[in-house]
Amino acid sequence: MKYRLGDLVQIKYGKDHKKLNAGNIPVYGTGGLIRRVNNFIYDGDSVLIPRKGSLNNVMYVTSKFWTVDTMFWTKIDKNKILPKYLYYCLSKIDLSIFNVGSAVPSLTIKILNEITLEVPSLQIQNEIISKIKPIEDKIQLRRL
């Protein structure tokens, strides 16, 4: 079934992290992990989508995190799409084609909400994830 991204998730803005104290909760920006703080913006599975900068650096998180204002985060409707499956879908899209910035590459919630994704049943999503996960695990082991 085809869905607009806006029908699958709520896209939220990250916030400034500079006034937060050091802690163990990761803070993500477009380039990845920035630092660790004592507060979180969300606790749970989320796909992080760059708002400014490296637009194709989509990330997947599964616990407490904070994102800066250059990174969107998502609240996912798990009745329609599994978070990991959403991550796979968004990772294979060249988000830079939706760039609206001039000097700095940029995305907007309005544009992201209109992206169309083909989403199979939750059962098929689970099957796909179960086939990809062992490959991801092997890649991760090689990086260590």
27 within 8 A of 34, measured Cβ to Cβ:
yes
- CA–CA separation, 78 vs 64, rounded Å? 18
Q: What is the pTM of this model?
A: 0.93
| pLDDT category of residue 139 using cuts at 50, 70 and 90 | confident
> Residue 91: which residues within 8 A CB-CB, separation 6 or more?
58
The token pair that represents 82 in the structure block:
């599994």
Tens digits of per-residue pLDDT, 88-125?
999 999 999 999 988 899 999 999 999 999 999 999 99
105 within 8 A of 96, measured Cβ to Cβ:
yes
Tens digits of per-residue pLDDT, 35-55?
999 999 999 999 999 999 999
- CA–CA separation, 102 vs 63, rounded Å? 34
